[in-house]
């Protein structure tokens, strides 16, 4: 009987102790979680970006959010917490330095890694202290005994060490090379291939840029060997560019050609960016560095934000169902009606709205007292309604140079890609060439006299070629 009685009295005591420790552990978990939720977030610079780095409750791994493009997730470790990195804005000075000088990319990978490591260490220390404090405070409030905060703090330390141990044991570095994309970034691999291949190719591409610019500087001397063309005092030189697609060297090349050829103005027929996002607007500041007027119409990769930012440049003229007189030439233009920055938002063929844009521009032209000399559109499909109404239409979009005389006599000049299709141009084995055209216009008659098609080799190529076409004077033929 005494033994049974002893066993009977011991069981409730043991049960109470188990329940008490279970309660302590549970409240320690809750307190630690509250501490992490309240303090598990810091703002930190990572490379050229200002980011928010956070620690949240989740199924392990990490997620990098790039508003409004989407996010990429990496299943790099298991555990009850998840690391999040959100890009808030770009450091304008750093981005400008990279755009103007691609060699500034040297060492940026190591810098980003070091910044990220420092940010995560700071976050873990801050979150760990907050977790311990949260557990201690909740333990005191619930159990109301002086020793309880210390017990709760000890339990929270054990929880933190266990979480860190799980992350360490399940660490999968290979997962870093195969992230999962969401939002617009779903198309990242389709657009530019793997990050490893892109980095290797861009490094090769960057090394060829200096030679490209040098060759452009020497190119103008070759003009003497081209078919004879005598410029008059009223000749205006326009540089037609298109589809820069964020190429970090495009503005350097534009500036070099504009200087060598004595260009009076630049005409851009759209797709200056890729996704039209806020971070990309920093890129268009290259327009303001040019010493000549810059006419622009929006492409299907350019958002309203992109167009508005271009308009803020001191030398920019944005045409969207409007016209301007520049250097004696009457020029009209309209932006692409679509905003289709990725394949998921794009039809295989141009829709009726693209033709309608040409119709809208035609309606504007018919209200003007004189016929314009040049019309600017992004997609050449928009040129169809303008046939016979405008002598010259400039377009882009195709990433391939096309010259066509339409049925009504209008000359359609479609530019290739002055940005070599951007980073996507590094995807295929055949490099996408960088193209632009110097147009020679008579400011009195508004007629195109001649044009020089300039082609620069793409990835790994440093060849620069120029082909001149002299346009026959229709009055002289008569």
Distance CA 123, CA 82 (A): 12
The pLDDT value recorded for residue 311 is 96
Give Cα 315 to chain centroid, integer Å. 23
The two tokens of residue 360 are 């809208």
Q: What is the pLDDT of residue 92?
A: 60
* Residues 89, 93, 96: CA angle, nearest 5 degrees: 95
Which residues of the chain fall below pLDDT 70?
1-10, 66-70, 90-110, 112-113, 175-179, 181-228, 342-350, 421-431, 457-463, 473-478
Domains of the chain: 14-178 (no CATH), 202-477 (3.60.21.10)
User: How, if at all, do strands 81-90 and 62-66 pair?
Assistant: parallel
Angle between helices 92-100 and 250-261 (to 10 degrees): 50
Let me know: does 226 contact 468? Beta carbons within 8 Å. Answer: yes
Nearest residue to 438 (alpha-carbon basis) of 261, 270, 247, 194: 261
Tens digit of each residue's pLDDT (9 = 90 or more) over 390-446: 999 999 999 999 999 999 999 999 999 988 766 554 444 566 788 999 999 999 999
φ/ψ (deg, to 5) at 147: -80, -15
Q: How far apart (Å, rounded) are the C-alpha atoms in residues 77 and 113?
A: 18
Q: Please, are residues 280 and 246 in contact by the beta-carbon 8 Å criterion?
A: yes
Angstrom distance (rounded) from CA 330 to CA 392: 11
Tell me how far apart the alpha carbons of residues 93 and 112 are, in angstroms, rounded to a whole number: 16
Compute the residue count for the chain.
Answer: 478
Residue 310 confidence (pLDDT)? 96
Question: What does the alpha-carbon distance between residue 296 and residue 377 come to, in Å, rounded to a whole number?
Answer: 9
What is the pLDDT, as a whole number, of residue 423? 57
Q: Which pLDDT belongs to residue 211?
A: 53
Residues with Cβ within 8 Å of residue 307, at least 6 apart in sequence:
296, 298, 318, 320, 335
**Burial category of 152 from C-beta neighbours within 10 Å (exposed 0-12, middle 13-18, buried 19 and up):** buried
Q: Within a 13 Å sphere around the CA of 95, how many CA atoms are in the beta-carbon half?
A: 18
Neighbouring CB atoms inside 10 A of 401's CB total 19
Predicted pLDDT at 191: 43
**pLDDT tens for each residue of 316-355:** 999 999 999 999 999 999 999 998 876 555 554 557 899 9
């Amino acid at each position: 009987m005494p033994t049974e009685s002893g066993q009977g009295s011991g069981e409730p005591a043991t049960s109470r102790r188990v329940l008490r420790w279970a309660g302590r552990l549970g409240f320690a978990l809750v307190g630690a979680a509250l501490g992490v939720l309240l303090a598990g977030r810091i703002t930190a610079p990572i490379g050229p970006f200002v980011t928010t780095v956070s620690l949240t409750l989740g199924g392990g791994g990490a997620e990098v959010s790039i508003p409004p493009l989407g996010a990429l997730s990496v299943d790099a470790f298991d555990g009850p917490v998840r690391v999040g990195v959100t890009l808030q804005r770009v450091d304008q000075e750093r981005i400008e330095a990279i755009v103007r000088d691609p060699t500034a990319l040297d060492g940026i990978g190591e810098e980003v890694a070091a910044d990220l490591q420092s940010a995560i260490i700071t976050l873990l220390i801050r979150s760990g202290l907050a977790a311990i404090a949260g557990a201690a405070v909740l333990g005191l409030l619930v159990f109301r005994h002086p020793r309880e905060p210390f017990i709760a703090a000890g339990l929270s330390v054990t929880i933190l060490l266990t979480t860190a141990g799980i992350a360490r044991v399940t660490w999968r570095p290979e997962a870093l090379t195969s992230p999962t994309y969401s939002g617009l970034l779903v198309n990242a691999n389709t657009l530019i291939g793997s990050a490893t291949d892109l980095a290797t190719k861009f490094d090769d591409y960057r090394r060829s840029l200096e030679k490209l610019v040098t060759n452009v500087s020497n190119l103008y001397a070759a003009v003497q060997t081209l078919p004879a063309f005598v410029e008059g005092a009223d000749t205006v030189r326009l540089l037609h560019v298109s589809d820069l697609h964020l190429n970090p060297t495009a503005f350097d090349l534009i500036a070099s050609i504009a200087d060598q050829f004595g260009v009076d103005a630049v005409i851009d027929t759209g797709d200056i960016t890729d996704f039209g996002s806020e971070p990309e607007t920093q890129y268009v500041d290259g327009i303001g560095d040019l010493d000549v007027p810059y006419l622009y119409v929006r492409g299907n990769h350019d958002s309203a934000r992109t167009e508005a930012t271009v308009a803020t440049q001191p030398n920019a003229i944005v045409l969207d169902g409007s016209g301007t007189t520049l250097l004696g030439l009457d020029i009209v233009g309209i932006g692409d009606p679509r905003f289709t920055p990725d394949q998921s938002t794009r039809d295989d063929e141009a829709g009726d709205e693209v033709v309608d844009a040409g119709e809208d521009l035609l309606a504007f032209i018919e209200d003007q007292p004189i016929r314009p000399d040049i019309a600017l559109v992004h997609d050449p499909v928009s040129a169809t309604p303008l046939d016979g109404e405008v002598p010259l239409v400039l377009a882009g979009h195709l990433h391939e140079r096309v010259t066509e005389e339409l049925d009504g006599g209008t000359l359609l000049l479609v530019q290739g890609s002055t940005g070599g299709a951007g980073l996507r141009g590094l995807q295929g084995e055949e490099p996408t060439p960088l193209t632009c055209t110097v147009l020679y216009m008579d400011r009195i008659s508004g007629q195109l006299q001649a044009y020089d098609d300039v082609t620069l080799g793409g990835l790994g190529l440093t060849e620069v070629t120029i082909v001149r076409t002299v346009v026959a004077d229709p009055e002289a033929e008569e």
